[in-house]
Amino acid sequence: MTKADSLETYRKKRDFKKTKEPQGSKSKKSKQPIFVIQKHNASNLHYDLRIEVDGVLASWAVPKGPSTDPSEKRLAVRTEDHPMEYADFEGVIPEGEYGAGTVLVWDTGTYQNLRENKDEPSDMPQSLDEGKIEIRLEGKKISGGYNLIRTGPKKPEQERWLLMKADDDRADARRNPVSTQPESVKSGKTLEEIKEEND
Ligand code: MN
């Protein structure tokens, strides 16, 4: 997939006359690359981890959300690249549309590619391609090193990866932010409150 058409799948899945999700018209690049984790109450509740790579948001659906415990491995299924503007999206995707349900911005911040300074450095596109990502997140709820490792075959959609907390200064087996900090870092609202507002 080339850079120019990496949002084609995203756009094909959506009817922008019906959903308020962004179309991703402008390609922008952040000074420091960003990440976002969106809590999404679709047919199944999951957490969408998105990290900026080459002007788009590379994305994974993580059913259980991120853990702060390095001994936990969380399944992360790769989904289509999303436009940068999606990082701010919070609201309701209408019934009948792709991903119908409520979305909140559960955490966001910047990240650093930890493989860029290694003996054999790897940039983010290369890490994605190799199926081996090592990043350090600076969010409000989630921080420190995380590893994403592809475990199944490389394919256009639904690649299986594992998300793991690195065993570093931010590792903490006692924290469980997914259950103790359910609200949006953007609005302070819960999924229920966002849904009510849109009803
Ligand atoms: Mn989702």
Q: Going residue by residue through the chain (199 aa), what tens digit of pLDDT does each one get?
A: 445 568 999 999 999 999 999 998 766 667 899 999 999 999 999 999 999 999 999 999 999 999 999 999 999 999 999 999 999 999 999 999 999 999 999 999 999 999 998 888 999 999 999 999 999 999 999 999 999 999 989 988 899 999 999 999 999 999 999 999 999 999 999 999 999 998 7
pLDDT, residue 54, reads 92
Q: How far apart are CA 174 and CA 124, in angstroms?
A: 31
Please, are residues 35 and 58 in contact by the beta-carbon 8 Å criterion?
no
Tell me, in angstroms, the distance from the centre of ligand 1 to residue 120's CA: 34
Tell me, in angstroms, the distance from the centre of ligand 1 to residue 102's CA: 9
Count the residues in the chain: 199
* Structure tokens, 77: 């299924």
Residues forming beta bridges with residue 102, ordered by sequence position:
41, 92
Tell me, in angstroms, the distance from the centre of ligand 1 to residue 99's CA: 6
- Please give the helix or strand (H or E) that residue 46 lies within, else none: strand 45-53
Q: How far apart are CA 178 and CA 180, in angstroms?
A: 6
CB neighbours (10 Å) of residue 151? 12
Residue in this structure with the two tokens 């995203």, named with its chain if needed: 10
The model's pTM:
0.94
DSSP label at residue 149: E
Q: Quick one: which of 58, 61, 77 has its CA closest to 9?
A: 58
Tell me, in angstroms, the distance from the centre of ligand 1 to residue 46's CA: 6
Tell me, in angstroms, the distance from the centre of ligand 1 to residue 97's CA: 12
Tell me, in angstroms, the distance from the centre of ligand 1 to residue 28's CA: 22
Tell me, in angstroms, the distance from the centre of ligand 1 to residue 64's CA: 12
pLDDT, residue 65, reads 98
Tell me, in angstroms, the distance from the centre of ligand 1 to residue 103's CA: 8
Residues, beta carbon < 5 Å, ion ligand 1: 40, 48
Q: Residue 185: how many CA atoms within 13 Å on its side-chain side?
A: 18
Tell me, in angstroms, the distance from the centre of ligand 1 to residue 4's CA: 23
pLDDT, residue 1, reads 44
